[in-house]
Amino acid sequence: MAAMKFSRQRESIKHFLMTTRTHPTADEVYLHVKEDFPNISLGTVYRNLNLLTDIGEATKISTPDGGDRFDGRIEPHNHFLCKTCGRLLDLDLDMKSIEEVNRLAAENFDGLIESSSTLFYGECSDCIKKS
């Protein structure tokens, strides 16, 4: 079932995800990879982003505003959405804290908790400075 083959396009997408911290949308990935592969199509980008997500080499982040973002950092970590500029930033809690949250939740919940993802809301330091 599905012997995965190498593809230059997929490598490029993966490389971009792993070297940026901007949590790009599929379209932003497309525009970037297009610089190296002018003929690449948005469909290919979506197919590879989903594939990378499925095999655990990327993460999909959903926010209440607009399309999904993708993240090449696969270690558990969390995100912050600035209500002013809309940027999505990394926000690291140490592993112990993340586990502690999951443990606390498990106490109040009658099922199996495997992971969690927290989205923090507020205003980032850049926007605070400008106001």
Partner DNA sequence: TTTAGTGCAAACGATTTGCAAAATA
Partner DNA sequence: TATTTTGCAAATCGTTTGCACTAAA
Q: Contact positions toward DNA, by CB under 7 A? A: 2-10, 25-27, 37, 39-44, 46-48, 50-51, 66-68
Residue with tokens 């080499």: 57
Which residues from 82-111 bind a second copy, rule CB under 8 A? 82-83, 91-94, 97, 101-102, 104-105, 108-111
Q: Per CB under 8 A, does 63 bind a second copy?
A: yes
Q: Which does 41 bind (CB under 5 to 8 A by kind): DNA, a second copy, none?
A: DNA
The CB-of-113 to a second copy minimum distance in angstroms stands at 4
Query: Which residues neighbour 20 within 8 Å (Cβ) at sequence distance 6 or greater?
Result: 72
Residues 6+ positions from 122 with CB-CB distance below 8 Å: 80, 82, 83
Token pair in block for residue 86: 């809309």
Beta pairing class for 69-71 and 59-61: antiparallel
Which of 41/117 has CB closer to a second copy?
117
Q: Does 38 bind a second copy (CB under 8 A)?
A: no
- How many C-beta atoms surround the C-beta of residue 107 within 10 A? 6
User: Min. distance of Cβ 62 from DNA in angstroms?
Assistant: 8
Of 76, 71, 87, the C-alpha closest to 118 is 76
Q: Which two tokens stand for residue 20?
A: 């940026």
**Choices 2-10, 16-24, 37-45, 114-122; region in contact with a second copy by CB under 8 A:** 114-122
Q: From the CB of 50, what's the least distance to a second copy, in Å?
A: 11
